[in-house]
Amino acid sequence: MKPAPAGSFCSPLWRDRALAAAAVSELRRLAPAAAARAGGQINLMEVCGTHTMAVAASGMRGLFPKELRMLSGPGCPVCVTSQGDIDTVLALALVPGVIITTFGDMLKVKGSGGLDLNSARERGADVRVVYSPLDAVALAAAEPSRQVIFIGVGFETTAPVIGAAVRQARKAGLKNFSSTAFFKLVPPALEMLLSDPENKIHGFMLPGHVSAIIGTAPYRFIAEKYRVACVVTGFEPLDILAGINILLKQVISGAPRVEDEYFRVVSAEGNLAAQKIMKEVFSLSTPSWRAIGPVKNTGLKFSKDYASFDAVKRFKLKYSEAPEPKGCSCGKILLGKALPPDCPLFGKACTPANAVGPCMVSSEGACAAWYKYGA
């Protein structure tokens, strides 16, 4: 059954079956003890959409004992972007003559009118997928007669790159480049969950990519103030199993702290250069979270110094929040209060081809992951 040894195929250490089997048997031993301490059921949250996908793609859920529940958190960039912000993006796309540049997974997110960037193309919108916002700046330089708008959404992972692009556009004196700044911040989002009196999360698997930027220090309040277990985790199956076991041990010992399983990438202080760019280009904002609403100081907007690059201001467009689709449970799912199959629409009225809520639209959404991989 094994491929030819001479081939270029390798079985990376991070998905080694024997190591995984050892980690799973440890997990099965730890989970009941942790659940006993937590009152019968242990709820761990993978904060990041990439973790949600990795958990589902590895098929590990079927290996977990029933006392352990993995919840998906508010860390999927598309999922948490509010309906009003999406409507604003679509309105920008329909401004005559502009070029919209975006990461690929924004293409299929529907506005409240049912339109998405993909179908806006049929109405004449010029929408281009780029892999880096710097490509959008290069495009603006190459097309001086057109306004180029980058659709900036996401967390601390994307904000510094877009900040760097904006800085470069200013340095080059480009008057035809702008971006949206619909950024959200992970630590305040977690505080938002923790301050809910109904919170039942016993441990957070913290996002590897975001933590590579911000470091591990900003999470300390979770362990210290809220006494909830924490581990920064990588994205390979073994990373995730190891991360879960670290959380279970913290719950059993009753001594929560911020551990770093992903230390091959993440340091305590994070990426200082990226943090500096964020501080320079952006300032704290009160963004609207999908299905949750506006929460003070949980996001980033352009700082005063860079306000002229704000596409929303430049084109004087801002849409107010539209009501959430009827019956959609995305809000509860993003808060870890429900799993996708608990939603009455899941797999019936709501599928990836015909998504009702954002958790089904985004490839990293919890509903899309459960649907795609049958988790």
Partner 1 sequence: MTALKKIVLGHGSGGRLSRELVERVFLKSFSNPSLRLLEDAAEVKIPGATLAFTTDSYVVTPVEFPGADIGRVAVCGTVNDLAVKGARPLALSAGFILEEGFPGDLLLRITASMRRAADEAGVLIVTGDTKVVEKGKADGIFINTSGLGLIPRGRRLTSAEVKPGDAIIVSGNLADHGVAVMNARDRLGLRGGVRSDAAPLNGLIEKILRLPGIRAMRDLTRGGLATVLNEVSGACRLTAEVEEDSVAVSPAARSACSLLGLDPMYVANEGKIAVFAAPGQAAKILKAMRSHPYGRNACIAGRMLKEKKPLVRMITSIGGSRIMLMLEGEQLPRIC
Q: Which of 214, 223, 238, 345 binds partner 1 (CB under 8 A)?
A: 238
Distance from C-alpha of 48 to C-alpha of 178, rounded to nearest angstrom: 27
- How many binding residues for partner 1 (CB under 8 A)? 59
Distance from C-alpha of 164 to C-alpha of 141, rounded to nearest angstrom: 16
Name the residue nearer to partner 1 (CB basis): 65 or 352. 352
Residues 6+ apart with CB under 8 A from 172: 137, 141
Q: Is 24 in the site for partner 1 (CB under 8 A)?
A: yes
Site mask, partner 1, residues 65-84, x = CB under 8 A?
A: ------------xx------
Name the residue nearer to partner 1 (CB basis): 107 or 174. 107
Q: Is 217 in the site for partner 1 (CB under 8 A)?
A: no
Q: Is 15 in the site for partner 1 (CB under 8 A)?
A: yes
Q: Which stretch binds partner 1 (CB under 8 A): 102-110, 169-177, 247-255, 262-270?
A: 102-110
Distance from C-alpha of 131 to C-alpha of 123, rounded to nearest angstrom: 24
Q: Which stretch binds partner 1 (CB under 8 A): 20-28, 33-41, 65-73, 181-189?
A: 20-28
Q: Which of 209, 290, 301, 314 binds partner 1 (CB under 8 A)?
A: 209
Shortest distance, CB of residue 256 to partner 1, whole angstroms?
27
Q: Which stretch binds partner 1 (CB under 8 A): 12-20, 84-92, 296-304, 339-347?
A: 12-20
Q: Which of 47, 68, 90, 103 binds partner 1 (CB under 8 A)?
A: 103
Q: Is 11 in the site for partner 1 (CB under 8 A)?
A: yes
Give the burial class of 341: count Cβ atoms within 10 A of its Cβ; 0-12 exposed, 13-18 middle, 19 or more buried.
exposed
Q: Is 193 in the site for partner 1 (CB under 8 A)?
A: no
Q: Which of residues 312-351 bind partner 1 (CB under 8 A)?
A: 351
Q: Is 358 in the site for partner 1 (CB under 8 A)?
A: no
Q: Which of 36, 57, 268, 272 binds partner 1 (CB under 8 A)?
A: 57
Name the residue nearer to partner 1 (CB basis): 152 or 256. 152
Q: Which stretch binds partner 1 (CB under 8 A): 118-126, 196-204, 278-286, 311-319?
A: 118-126
Q: Is 264 in the site for partner 1 (CB under 8 A)?
A: no
| 286 Ramachandran zone, left/alpha/beta (phi>0; psi -120 to 50) | beta
Shortest distance, CB of residue 144 to partner 1, whole angstroms?
21
Q: Which stretch binds partner 1 (CB under 8 A): 29-37, 98-106, 245-253, 299-307?
A: 98-106
Q: Is 206 in the site for partner 1 (CB under 8 A)?
A: no
For 283-318, give the DSSP string. Answer: EEE-PEETTTEE-TTSEEEE-GGGGGGBHHHHTT--
Site mask, partner 1, residues 120-159, x = CB under 8 A?
A: --x------x-x---------------------xxx-xx-
Q: Which of 10, 97, 198, 316 binds partner 1 (CB under 8 A)?
A: 10
Q: Is 373 in the site for partner 1 (CB under 8 A)?
A: yes
Name residue, tokens 């004087």.
316
Binding site for partner 1 (CB under 8 A): 1-4, 6-12, 15-17, 20-21, 24, 50, 53, 56-63, 77-78, 103-108, 118-119, 122, 129, 131, 153-155, 157-158, 209, 237-238, 241, 351-353, 363-364, 371-375
